[in-house]
Amino acid sequence: MRSQIYAWNSQSQSGGTQRWTNANTGNSVSIFIGGFGNNITKPAETTATQFVVIEDVAVSPTAFGTSGSFGTYRGLTSSGASAATANGVYGNRAYIQVRINTTDYFLDPDNVGNDGIPGAASPYPRSTSFQPCFNLYPDVYVLPGQVFDALVTCYQNGAFASAATLEGNQLSAFMKYTLYDGPDALIANKLLEMGISINPGNVDWYKRTLIQSQSAPAMA
Amino acid sequence: MSMRSQVYEWSNLAPTGQTSSLRRTVDAVPVAVPTNREYDVFIGGIGNNITKPAETTATQFIVIEDIACSAYLGGALQVRINTTDYFQNPDVTDQAGVPGLASPYPRGSSNVAGADALTSYTQLLKSFDLYPDVYVLPGQVFQILYSLQTANNTGVATTVVAAFVKYTLYDGPDALIANKLLELGVTINPNNVDWYKRTLIEQQQRSRVAATATNGGSA
């Protein structure tokens, strides 16, 4: 049972990937295997003996202002190349969607998949200027054998820094999850059947009840 | 995935020459929002909209847990279920709803749009918590209505305004359980839905044991 994170930096080229550019604006890109920023070697998936619980997702923040204002606002770069083209959006106007196999998790009220959680609601990194108003609860479960992905979409051109280190308003994303492996994954499946939330506390509780039920006859 | 955390974000950004668009578009520009009028963030005809009014099907149950909007220009959000406004004045007259100053979006944003200097802005925190939550029962239509008191368009520049809704969608069996909890007077949240499932499972197990005992030990 291990707490895990994955941080994505759009300007990293580790693994031979490309840096994110304006050409990708409007496209949803996987933070794991999208070909931009730091990537991993294969799609994120659980084996038959693994269970993943995604507990938080976050992406670069966005701030809203007035068109014609060109410059920075709390560290975020305004859109456009000059005041004439600035539309009042600061930052990337980025969103992050969770996908399990081929199903998008976040939907609009008309049941059509949307872009996901806005960076303005779940910012990464967090600061006093950019605080979350979204909490991923209930958590997202990735059952054994499923493929999962996090897709970033941004709608603002020219509003991200190009430095390779994570700073300022560079487009970046973050995922926090807990990986249950081996016997703990079996217990996680059992808890799912029982309608009990899967978290480390409840997995430990189930283990204790197993131990108590085994030791009770011996004590008697 | 029968119990899912969902969000909807609206802003008055639309492609150049249009007032609204389905879904979001790249490099959209802010459009003017007339003052002292309520606009549905889903199908109001301004900014990003969806294809049809927000409603629950016969097998869905929605619990609205948070609403927030831009804190400047006197922005406010109202929730409407079918034709009934949720927030009312003490004399039962209409009001604009929750002001952005009480529930700012984004959290930590300023009460002045585009205040650049570090010394001239406030980092607002929420002073409003939507509790108890708002329930949207199966078959009901719901609207989130945004209004502002001060014009966001000076003729030279237009200010971007935004709104945010966080809700949990219960679908299928979980929606049935949500209805049952409502009948019982129990708050509808993921924990209580799980609790009800557990009690159902325990009841089934007890009746199975009782049936086995009645049959003389054979199932």
3-state secondary structure of A157: coil
Q: Which residues of chain A lie closer than 8 angstroms to B30, CB-CB?
A: 67, 87-88
pLDDT at A84: 81
- A164-197 pLDDT, tens digit each: 444 455 789 999 999 999 999 999 999 998 888 8
Q: What is the token pair recorded at A121?
A: 């609601």
pLDDT at B1: 52
Query: CA nearest A62: which of A156, A176, A163?
Result: A156
Q: Which residues of chain A lie closer than 8 angstroms to B3, CB-CB?
A: 138
Both A212 and A114 in one domain: the answer is no
Give the residue on B whose Cα is nearest the Cα of A83. Answer: B157
pLDDT at B115: 58
Residues 14-33 of B with CB under 8 A from A: 23-30
Residue of A108, A130, A136, A199 to mutate, testing the B interface (most B Cβ within 10 Å of its Cβ): A108
Both A87 and A187 in one domain: the answer is no
Angstrom distance (rounded) from CA B142 to CA B165: 12
Q: Is any Cβ of chain B less than 8 angstroms from the Cβ of A159?
A: no
Cβ pair B179, B61 in contact under 8 A: yes
User: Is the ipTM beyond the 0.85 threshold?
Assistant: yes
Ordered mean pLDDT values, 10 residues apiece, chain A (220 residues): 93 83 89 93 96 96 88 80 83 94 94 94 91 94 97 82 50 95 96 90 92 71
Both A14 and A98 in one domain: the answer is yes
∠ Cα B146 B150 B64 (to 5°)? 20
Q: Which residues of chain A lie closer than 8 angstroms to B11, CB-CB?
A: 64
> How big is the A-B interface in CB pairs under 8 Å?
157
Both A173 and A196 in one domain: the answer is no
Both A63 and A28 in one domain: the answer is yes
User: How would you write the pLDDT of chain B (219 residues) with one tens digit per residue?
Assistant: 589 999 999 999 999 999 999 989 988 999 999 999 999 999 999 999 999 999 999 999 999 999 999 999 999 999 999 999 999 999 989 999 999 999 999 999 888 886 555 556 788 899 999 999 999 999 999 999 999 999 999 888 999 999 999 999 999 999 999 999 999 999 999 999 999 988 888 888 888 888 888 877 665
Domains held by chain A: number: 2
Q: Which residues of chain A lie closer than 8 angstroms to B126, CB-CB?
A: 133
Q: Which residues of chain B lie closer than 8 angstroms to A105, CB-CB?
A: 1, 4
pLDDT at A217: 61
Angstrom distance (rounded) from CA A132 to CA B48: 22
Both A121 and A59 in one domain: the answer is yes
> B106 and A133: CB-CB below 8 Å?
yes
Both A80 and A168 in one domain: the answer is yes
Both A218 and A125 in one domain: the answer is no
B198 closest CB neighbour out of A65, A138, A194: A194
Both A83 and A8 in one domain: the answer is yes
Cβ pair A141, A50 in contact under 8 A: no
pLDDT at A220: 47
Alpha-helical regions (H) of A69-117 = none
Residues 39-98 of A with CB under 8 A from B: 61-69, 71-73, 79, 87-89, 93
Both A114 and A158 in one domain: the answer is yes
Q: Provide the edge-to-edge strand list for the sheet that holds B162-171.
A: B3-11, B162-171, B60-69, B134-136
Residues 31-70 of B with CB under 8 A from A: 42, 50-52, 54-55, 66, 68, 70
One DSSP character per residue, A136-198 reads --SPEEE-TT-BEEEEEEE--TT-S---SSS-TT--EEEEEEEEEETHHHHHHHHHHHHT---
pTM: 0.91
- Helix then strand count (H, E) for chain B reads 2, 13
Query: Residue A216 belongs to what domain range?
Result: 182-220
Both A50 and A149 in one domain: the answer is yes
Both A41 and A127 in one domain: the answer is yes
Amino acid A159 reads A
